[in-house]
Structure 1
């Protein structure tokens, strides 16, 4: 048997089982007594047993009716719970969002967006993975992240991507460095200067190599994993470095100078990446829209930066 029992029939049954009176049960169900009687008869036909004993004075449940009453109560409770749960998700009072982002974005820019999102949707759980580009994509593939904010690379064909913003590059140096007083630095100005690099696995290093490919700079011998290490080496006069604007917060505490590279030099695009085969939840879509609103504006005009 494959019954097609509607919630209307279940509500009619429960009303009659509780009130044991056709007229009052019909009033609760906002229908006529005759229509209620038809519904109960239809339900009994579907069940294949009488559910009520009826006479002119009272209505009582049969033993089969007693059994069905338990099942009907459970079914209606589960249906109401399912609708309540989905309503919570639709209203963004519940849910989860997981974001993978480059460390520079995860530490600077994204936290304020997450804080604003949490204030608007306190019931939604937000998780953040700070990771290099390859790991961001891996988290997307595994379903551990809904969105990734990362720089372009060779393995993006399987994903849906769009540009969030462009990240211009700056020279970072000591205040007593010959280039520190310039308002703008040309890439050619870096010729002959020692440069401290990030590791080759980083998206920053890959873009810096493109910037410097036609300039004879001196390799300082340092290739490090962390921007804080770059800042410490620059502070000690062991070289200069070229880094994106989004990373400059790492250099503020060391009394260094940041000078923008001349307009026309390539910028590092920051992409929003998501899976093509996985639609976003309403909670994730709301996060995506807020990220685009807060971080997707065109870069502010660049100027000389002195921390």
Structure 2
């Protein structure tokens, strides 16, 4: 039965084979497949030509499997079981009964947004593992680019290689020692003109905050401090010690609530940080990642959750 020309067969031929294995009767198997007996016989014949061996012994009284047919029947059964298992796993993923989702976030976004989000996620979907990576902007985009996270919560930088959606725009605040004259401004806040002659302490150049301030390309009337730090806790300590002032986004204000510090709104609309959700361009999110994104959107719809008061 060997042929130099390969015979094309289809999944419906395997279905016909399975029906005949179960019924051991051509007529009943053909009826099960809703085929005429001749059409059904052609499917079995095509499958036998494809494998190069007879699969059934036919007699007037019964149909039985050949040894080769037994091998194929076992393989078909194994494939069916594996398919059922795969479908079961997919159903669990689609139903949020299994799986995992990973997110990268700037430290300020991670500290303010993610604790409550993670707690709510674990309560609603305890069987779906949620991983969180808190990192600066460059680290977040690197994790996203490498496929190690489903999406990143970030701000600033060149995000053209990703699909992004704006979550909200975050205002800036001026932080200063409590004894500084600007601390008495209250809700009236401060402006660029108020920084003339002041010493401004910047965060590291790798931070989204520093990048955004520099992108405005303003002629500085202030003095740039030689002190440059990566951690907001360090920045708070330097400001408290009277070594300078700093501009920080609203989500970071929890670092500047201790004694000896004051924060006033910085009333310059051009200095506002867009907070975005970034994901790999053209790549769909998993069901779990979509659910996490929707949960985040719902939480951010509450102003107190999005930007807690200082």
TM-score by length of 1: 0.80
Provide the residue aligned with 2:4 in structure 1: none
TM-superposed CA distance for 1:77, in Å, is: 0.7
Provide the residue aligned with 1:46 in structure 2: 46
Q: Paired residue for 1:278, among 283, 303, 308?
A: 283
Q: Paired residue for 2:11, among 5, 9, 18?
A: 5
- Cα distance in 2 for partners of 1:301, 1:62 equals 69
Q: Which runs of 5+ in 2 are unaligned?
A: 1-6, 49-53
Q: Paired residue for 2:110, among 106, 110, 115?
A: 106
Specify whether residues 221 and 186 from structure 1 end up closer, same or farther in structure 2 by C-alpha distance, changes over 3 A only: same
Specify whether residues 115 and 36 from structure 1 end up closer, same or farther in structure 2 by C-alpha distance, changes over 3 A only: farther
User: How big is each residue's C-alpha offset from its partner over 1:124-178, in whole Å with a ceiling of 9 and x where there is no partner?
Assistant: 332222222223222222222221221122x322222221111111122233222
What does 1:20-35 correspond to in 2, within 5 Å? Answer: none
User: How big is each residue's C-alpha offset from its partner over 1:175-224, in whole Å with a ceiling of 9 and x where there is no partner?
Assistant: 32222222132222233333222112211123334679355223343111
- Cα distance in 2 for partners of 1:5, 1:303 equals 58
Does the residue aligned with 2:182 lie in a helix, a strand or coil?
A: coil
Q: Paired residue for 1:167, among 131, 145, 170?
A: 170
TM-superposed CA distance for 1:283, in Å, is: 2.1
User: How big is each residue's C-alpha offset from its partner over 1:7-58, in whole Å with a ceiling of 9 and x where there is no partner?
Assistant: 6435424533xxx7x69xx6xx9x66997977974554233224355564x6
Provide the residue aligned with 1:65 in structure 2: 69
How big is the alpha-carbon RMSD for the aligned residues of Structure 1 and Structure 2?
3.5
- Cα distance in 2 for partners of 1:172, 1:110 equals 24
Specify whether residues 95 and 216 from structure 1 end up closer, same or farther in structure 2 by C-alpha distance, changes over 3 A only: same
Q: Paired residue for 2:222, among 213, 217, 225?
A: 217
What does 1:1-307 correspond to in 2, within 5 Å? Answer: 1-6=7-12, 8-9=15-16, 11-16=18-23, 41=41, 44-48=44-48, 49-51=54-56, 56=61, 60-153=64-157, 155-183=158-186, 184-187=188-191, 188-209=193-214, 213-214=218-219, 216-254=221-259, 256-262=261-267, 264=269, 266-295=271-300, 305=310
User: How big is each residue's C-alpha offset from its partner over 1:221-258, in whole Å with a ceiling of 9 and x where there is no partner?
Assistant: 31111111001112222222211011112233556322
- Cα distance in 1 for partners of 2:309, 2:87 equals 56
TM-score by length of 2: 0.79
Specify whether residues 74 and 110 from structure 1 end up closer, same or farther in structure 2 by C-alpha distance, changes over 3 A only: same
- Cα distance in 2 for partners of 1:33, 1:180 equals 83
Specify whether residues 227 and 301 from structure 1 end up closer, same or farther in structure 2 by C-alpha distance, changes over 3 A only: closer
Q: Which runs of 5+ in 1 are unaligned?
A: none
Task: Give the length in aligned residue pairs.
Answer: 296
Contact 2:212 2:273 in 1 (8 A): yes
